[in-house]
Amino acid sequence: MKTSRFFIVNAGAGAHDNITLRGYRILQQADLVIASDSQRKRFAEELAGKQVIDGGHGLFDDLALRRLDPDEAARQQDAIRQRIEAAHAAGQTIVLLESGDAALFSPYRGYLTAFRHLQPELVPGVSSFNAGNAALAQSLLHDQGQRLQLSGLAAFMEAGRDCLPDSWVLFCMGLDLPRLIDKARELYPADTEMALVLNAGYPDCEVIRCSVGDLDRIADREIAFPYCLIYIGLDRN
């Protein structure tokens, strides 16, 4: 019997071909694939004929309790655990297919701890952060003394002016844009360069450049903020 292996393949944010060559080859070899509905559609051709189950957003982590009661979360987790353990016992190759990069952020991060005994191997991918940086077509760091900070919006809204990074990248999982504009003006000079990268990694990716002082011009724009990265403190060169 062949030895089972468990891979968490980060397929990259956005376009189908943002998956790495290594990740693609592992996906082709998979017997059991755990994937969200969006990833099943994205890789429908590659998943044809394979065992495929839904991974459950946020399962094996407290994140699931934002949408499920504890009993339902436990029921779904038990069902997935049984499928994975059975596949492992049968010597199958198991792949959790995830967008972006779970080493940076992932709603499926709980799998890393819940199945640690199976020694899951994390296959890196192109995160929305990587794709967003590429869309800007500039390096975020050009000096060894610079500080770059990545965070969610909560950390930004609680920040003070006494300890700001040179550049700040915000992952937006929901946003009150007027409050963010007010906070940015509180923290930074009006001429501080900014950018919003929408749909990073997708063919329709868009970069909106502005300064803190002219944020009002985007205040009324409808933006799908789960697919938005905000960069504050960009280099002008």
**Among residues 126, 160, 193, which one ends one of the domains?**
126
Is 237 a member of any domain? no
Per-residue pLDDT, averaged over 114-122, amounts to 96
Number of domains comprising the chain: 2
Q: Provide the pLDDT for residue 89.
A: 97
One domain, residues 118 and 149: no
- As a three-state string, the secondary structure of the chain is CCCCEEEEEECCCCCHHHCCHHHHHHHHHCCEEEECHHHHHHCHHHHCCCEEECCCCCCCCHHHHHCCCHHHHHHHHHHHHHHHHHHHHCCCEEEEEECCCCCCCCCCCHHHHHCHHHCCEEECCCCHHHHHHHHHCCCCCCCCCCCEEEEEHHHHHCCCHHHCCCEEEEEECCCCHHHHHHHHHHHCCCCCEEEEEECCCCCCCEEEEEEHHHHHHHCCCCCCHHHEEEEECCCCC
**Among residues 75, 106, 126, which one ends one of the domains?**
126
Q: Provide the pLDDT for residue 227.
A: 76
One domain, residues 27 and 139: no
Is residue 174 very low, low, confident or very high in pLDDT (cuts 50, 70, 90)?
low
Per-residue pLDDT, averaged over 199-214, amounts to 92
Per-residue pLDDT, averaged over 171-195, amounts to 86
**Percentage of the chain modeled with pLDDT above 70:** 96
pLDDT at 188 over 70: yes
Q: For the domain that residue 225 is a member of, what is the CATH number?
A: 3.30.950.10
